[in-house]
Amino acid sequence: MNNLLIETKEIGNHRIKIYYDTDNTCPVKEWDMGGCYVFEHLEFGRYWLSSDCNWEEYSGGRNLRDNSMSDILQRMAADVVEQTDIIAHYKAGKMKDVRFIYNRHTRMWELQHYLRWKGANANWATQLEIEPYELKEDADYRMELLEGLEEEDLLAIIQKYAKDFVIKEWSSSGYSQGDHMRGIAYMSKEHFDKTCGFSHGHYKDWKEQALHVIDGEIK
């Protein structure tokens, strides 16, 4: 038992000993949480998605080890952000190494990525071509448009354009060196109404209240 001892405190005439819980439950799976949590844990020098997080909703039908945080965020962004907003984001030059332009020669809309990793030979490379009529007919290219984006870019797009959805990053360190988790917490308006749809006057809107709930759960 002593090797499970975390801390001993003297409070008045009482001695309090705090031990590791060897039969603990995971709050994400066992508790009635307001937010949904996707997180990675550090293992063997790299981060892996945890089996205890809410990754299934955006798994794409793949198993845990075949998914990454980028995969989850890509599917999430494709689900909660309108295609017109993604395209407008690119056209406005909001992305340093991504652009969406019309090629008058081929008469196609092109999604191009700047291949900075090539160093002196860096150049713009076309990743996707779309016929103009397809955009007018609302063909869904959201997954393709978001392909290859970094986690921080996907997160920024969700935070800026998702209308009935809140998301934020979080992290937590344990007692041991290298014991670390990092991830995202999210909540849809529908989920908020079901789990914590109450209001207090000091909140401006449901998103502010949802983020307050998430902050409390993370803590």
Q: How far apart are CA 168 and CA 36, in angstroms?
A: 11
pTM of the full predicted structure? 0.83
Q: Where in the sequence is the domain holding 120, given as residue range(s)?
A: 25-218
Q: Which of 34-38, 52-56, 87-91, 201-205 has the lowest mean pLDDT?
A: 201-205
Q: How far apart are CA 6 and CA 177, in angstroms?
A: 14
Instruction: With a cut of 60, say whether residue 21 has pLDDT above it.
Output: yes
Is 3 contained in some domain?
A: no
Q: What is the number of alpha carbons within 13 Å of residue 210 lying toward its C-beta?
A: 22
Instruction: With a cut of 60, say whether residue 200 has pLDDT above it.
Output: no
> Across residues 151-180, what is the average pLDDT?
89
The count of structural domains within the chain is 1
Is 55 contained in some domain?
A: yes
Most confident of 19-23, 27-31, 203-207, 210-214: 210-214
Is 92 contained in some domain?
A: yes
Is 86 contained in some domain?
A: yes
**Spatial CA neighbour of 170 closest among 79, 27, 32, 35:** 35
Is 72 contained in some domain?
A: yes
Instruction: With a cut of 90, say whether residue 105 has pLDDT above it.
Output: yes
Share of the chain above pLDDT 70, in %: 95
> Across residues 156-176, what is the average pLDDT?
90
Q: What is the number of alpha carbons within 13 Å of residue 159 lying toward its C-beta?
A: 13
pLDDT bucket at 176, cuts 50 / 70 / 90? low
pLDDT digits (tens, 9 = 90+) for 111-134: 999 998 898 888 999 999 999 999
List, edge to edge, every strand of the sheet that includes 180-188. 46-49, 36-43, 180-188, 165-173
Looking at residue 173, what is its pLDDT? 82
Looking at residue 30, what is its pLDDT? 86
pLDDT bucket at 2, cuts 50 / 70 / 90? low
Is 89 contained in some domain?
A: yes
Is 119 contained in some domain?
A: yes
pLDDT bucket at 185, cuts 50 / 70 / 90? very high
> Across residues 93-119, what is the average pLDDT?
93
Is 12 contained in some domain?
A: no
pLDDT digits (tens, 9 = 90+) for 26-66: 888 888 889 999 999 888 778 889 998 999 999 999 999 89
SS3 string of the chain?
Answer: CHHHEEEEEEECCEEEEEECCCCCCCHHHHCCCCCEEEEEEEECCEEEECCCCCCHHHCCCCCHHHCCHHHHHHHHHHHHCCHHHHHHHHHCCCCCCEEEEEECCCCEEEEEEECHHHHHHCCEEEEEEECHHHHHCCCCCHHHHCCCCCHHHHHHHHHHHCCCEEEEEEEEECCCCCCEEEEEEEEEHHHHHHHHCCCCCCCCCHHHHHHHHHHHHHC
